[in-house]
Chain A
Amino acid sequence: MARDGTPAPAPHAGGEPGAGAATGDGPEILVEGISKVFGRRDVLRDVSFTVERGGFLALFGPNGAGKTTTLRIVATLLSPSSGAVRVAGHDLKDDPMPVRRAIGFISHNPLLYRDLTAEENLRFYADMYGVTDDGRRIRDLLERVELSHRRFDVVRTFSKGMLQRLAIARALLHRPRVLLLDEPHSGLDPHAVDILDGLLDEIRSEHTFIMVTHSLRKGLELADQVMILDGGRIVFRQTGQVAEDAFAAVYREHVHEGALV
C-alpha cells in the first residue's frame, strides 16, 4: 500500500478542446489494481492511481521498476493481466478507440517514419486520427515546434532534438486530452532540452499528463503528483508540490533500501 501525502490541488481548467469526449465526471485517468505478468515475471503488482483533469503525474523509479509498462498499458499498447484502466471516461478494455483518440504519446523513440518528410509524417498521422483541419493544423504545429523551414525534408536528416520536436507536434496533432511522456528528455542536448521544456510549459495547462522520468528536477518542476515505482509496486506517492531535496531523500530511502510503504 502506498503512502499518500497532501491533498491534490484543484485541477487545471481544460484548454484546447481534446479528442475523445469524456463520459461521466470521474478522474481523467483511473488505474485500478493493474498487474502485468510477462512469462513468469511479475512486472506490475496491484498498481492503482488517479490523475484529475489538468493534473500532472510524474512517475519515478529505477530501471525495470515497471514505469514504462504502466505507461504502455494506459496508452493501450499493452493489456493488463488484471485490473482496469479508464481514460477520459472510457474503459480501456471494452472501448479502446476513444481512449486512443484521447491520448498523445511522446517517448524517447519519435515514432516517425525516417523516409517520409516532416509534413508527410504529420499528414499520415492526421489521416490516421481523422483530423479535419489537417493542413492548417500541420502548419501551426510546425511553426510551434520551430520546424516550418524543414517541413519538406526527409526525417532521416533530422537531429535528435529536431526529431523530438517533431514527435511533440505528432503527439499534439489530434488535440489529445491526455499526454503520456516516456522519458522525453532522453538523449537530448541542453538546447533541445530547453526547447522541449518551453513547449511543455506552454501546453502544461491544456492537457492531463503522466511523465516517466529519471530526472527528479524535471519531474518535480512540472508535477502536482509524484509516484515512485519499484519492483512493480508503488512504494511512495504524494500530491502537491514537492521540494527536490526532500524528495531525493525519500527516493533514496524507498528505492535503495527497497522499503514498501
Chain B
Amino acid sequence: MSLGMRQYRAMVRKDIIAELRTKEMVVSMFLFVVLAMIVFHYAFTVRGSVRLSLLTGGMLWVVFVFGALLGLNRSFVHEKDEGCLDGLLLCPVDRVTIFLAKTTANLVFLAIIQLLAVPVFLLFFSTSDVVSNLPGLLAVVVVADIGITTLGTLLATISMNTRSRDLLLPIIFLPLIIPLLIAAASGTAKVFNGDAGLSSLLGVLTFLVVYDAVFLVLAYGTYDFAIGE
C-alpha cells in the first residue's frame, strides 16, 4: 500500500473511531433531521389537501443540507482540540490527502444519517412507490452528497481558524449549495412522483456531477492554502 493510501485510511479511520466513541456529530445531525421532518409534517398537513409529492423533494434536501451543516461545523473540532491540527500538519502528508480523507469521513456520516432518516421520511410523507425507483433516488443522493461534503469540507476548513466559524460556515456554504439543492430536489421530486427512470434523471445527474467536479478541482488547487496559516 502506498504511503498516501495508508495516510488516507488512517485519517478516515481516526475520524470514524472518534465519532463512534463520542457520537456527538451523528446524534446531533440525526436528531435535527428527524425533528425537522416532524415540523414539516405538521406544517404541511394541516388542511390535508396539499399534494405533498410536489414538495417532498425540496423538503428532504433542505433537511439534509441543514443536517450536513451541523456535522460540517463539528468536523474539525477534534483537530482543534489539543492542537491536533498542528500534529496533522507536521506529518509528511499531501494536503489534498487530508482533504480527501476529511471529505470521505463527512460523506460516511451524512450517508449514515440518510440511511436512518429516509425510512422516517417515507413514514411521514408516504409518496408513490419509491422502492421501484430506488436506483434513481440512490444515484441522486450519492452524487449530491459528494457535492455537499466536497464544498462543505473545503469551507469548514477555511472557516475553522476564524473566531466566528459557527456563523461563517453557513453564510458562505448556503449560497454556494443552492444550485445543488435545486438539482437534487428536482431529481428527488421526479422519483417521488414515480416518473423517474435513470434516463429522465440524466440532466440532473449531469449537472450534479459537473458541480462536484468544479468543487473537487477548486479544493485540489486551494486546499494547501486553505488549511495553512
Contact = CB atoms under 8 A, between A and B. Distances in A.
Q: Which of A75, A107, A115, A116 has the most CB of B within 10 A?
A: A115
Contact of B18 (A75, A76, A103, A113): A113
A111 B18 contact: no
B28 to A, nearest CB: 16
Interface stretch (B4-12, B103-111, B192-200): B4-12
Nearest to B2: A130
A105 B83 CA distance: 12
B84 interface: yes
Chain B: interface size category: 20 to 34
A169 to B, nearest CB: 13
Contacts, number: 81
A127 B82 contact: no
A124 B10 contact: yes
Interface residues of A, number: 30
B17 A116 contact: yes
Most buried by A among B6, B7, B84: B84
Interface in A96-134: 97-98, 100-101, 103, 105, 107, 109-116, 120, 123-125, 127-130
Given A79-B229, A127-B9, A128-B7, A109 B22 contact: no
Contact of B92 (A97, A111, A170): A97
Interface of B: 3, 6-7, 9-11, 13-14, 17-18, 21-22, 78, 81-84, 86-93, 228-229
Enumerate the 5 nearest inter-chain pairs by beta-carbon distance, A residue then B residue, closest first.
A111-B87, A109-B83, A127-B10, A128-B91, A100-B92
Interface of A: 75-79, 97-98, 100-101, 103, 105, 107, 109-116, 120, 123-125, 127-130, 154, 170
